[in-house]
Structure 1
Amino acid sequence: MHQPIGVFDSGYGGLTILREIVRKLPEYDYMYLGDNARTPYGTRSFETVYQYTLECVRHLFARGCRLVVLACNTASAKALRNIQQLDLPLMTEMGPDGPDRRVLGVIRPTTEVIGNYSQSGHVGILATRGTVTSESYVVEIEKFFPGLNVFQEACPMWVPLVENGEFASPGADYFVKQHINRLIDKSPIIDTLLLACTHYPLLIDKIRQAAPVGVTIVSQGEIIADSLTDYLQRHPILEEQCSKHGQRTFLTTDSTVDFDRQAAIFYGESIRSVQLTL
């Protein structure tokens, strides 16, 4: 039976997470769903993001996924808790003979380790406005590193720069430098920058150039891949339900031509997607 691990994002960014997961766990089947027809999620209300994310999670479940990773910071911030607490209990038959379904996000695994990167105790979060407004990182980091000082900066131009193919252009330098400077102005002793949006790794060269010397820049891909590995080891019944044929399936709610062209940039290799209607 085909029971892939589902990976969801509002667009292309989650492919940077999937790339690292596949590198770490290549034997599993994966199904990626990008809701490109309704992206971006970062500027939408909590209720809208929740409803859109829930629709996509249900679709992945209907296609055989038992485990879905929300590889999207905005969806993790605005929808994950409701889905886990309100919707999963209605969709899941717990126990060894039932379809044990789980939904995971990217915020908690990141906040469990981010404090380990900092020597000064001052960490900067670079994210979409939706993620910053949700305060999810601030709240979660407090649970694991209560003494850590967290400073946030919303970067509304960064996702459009990436999705319009301008992430390597000279024009991107201005917007990257602007937000790095604003964040460092909040605390000059910030020594760790978390890229809390899956699009931002494509800007990492410019972020490194703009950041002060010695600042550690953390992207989420490897963290999530390690966390998923650990999760599967701790949940053997669920792990056994995941099929292992090394298959990759890519779904998009928008044009497959556009998706395939852009996805190759994020995923690092060419792909062929299938369009779906929710």
Structure 2
Amino acid sequence: MRRSLVPPLYALIAFESVARYGSIMRAANELHLSQSAVSRLVKQVEDAIQVRLFDRIRQRLILTEAGNAYAEDVRKLLSGFEQSTLQVMAYGSGGQAGTINLGVFSTFSMKWLIPRLEDYRTTRPNTVISCYARPQPFSFDEDPLDAAIHYGEPIWPGASVEPLFGEQLIPVCSRRLPGLRELKTPQDMMKLPLLHEVTRPWSWKHWFEQQGVTVGSPLLGARFDQFSMVAQAAKAGLGIGLVPHFLFAEEIRAGDLHVPLNRPIAGEHMYYFVYPHRNAANAVVLDFRDWIIAAAQQQQSAAALRG
């Protein structure tokens, strides 16, 4: 991109304000500038792109068709700049100064990680763990995170990958689900609404196949982008969800979630702690790595004792 064609940011801010208000005076008040300064900035934008953005009619500014389209694009860009700035500000100084910015799955962090962070904090009171939801793969080169929780293959370019544990997927629903009393076999499950987590599109197909039920095509049913939403939909009686047992063990024990057929299957992959090679000597990140691996081992031991 030829950056010489792009007007200065402060001029674009002035243009957007004038476009929004349709008034030099109101834009000047918002920006705490003189009206003549705002007028010069708007002209600077028009001169830079060589397009008339306003029609000046009886001391009023009316956006031209080009001006209206440009104003919408500039508004989106300025909003993006603001969101990016707030995000980077939230990241703080990173692991180098006692803060770890961790990419997580939302449900994993709420149900498993955050309840255990009190243990971490009591022994490391000067380290702050900040969690940011990242449901889709990302690059450490483009996202200023110090580490992440990963589910899938043990592959992450430019990063170290440490195994944590696997999972058991188990069907759950509400005891009030219509048709539940007629459910006796895995085949009967096909007659009831199935709830899906969008990042695990084949989980139900694998579950049925392991029960000896042939499934010829992708299964229909409502889809949700977090396991917490799947579980909530199951509680509400919308259908049967297939969820990681370790994330919802408390709800199952309490009876908030009912297991219609106690036939769990192993998940296809494992959870991993990953961190970029640039943090290979970062003492704070490495200490958190050791802590979360120990917490994962406790998770596995507790699961083995239960059954």
Per the normalisation by structure 2, the TM-score is 0.28
TM norm structure 1: 0.30
Higher-RCO chain (CA-CA 8 Å, sequence separation at least 6): 1
Structure of larger gyration radius: 2
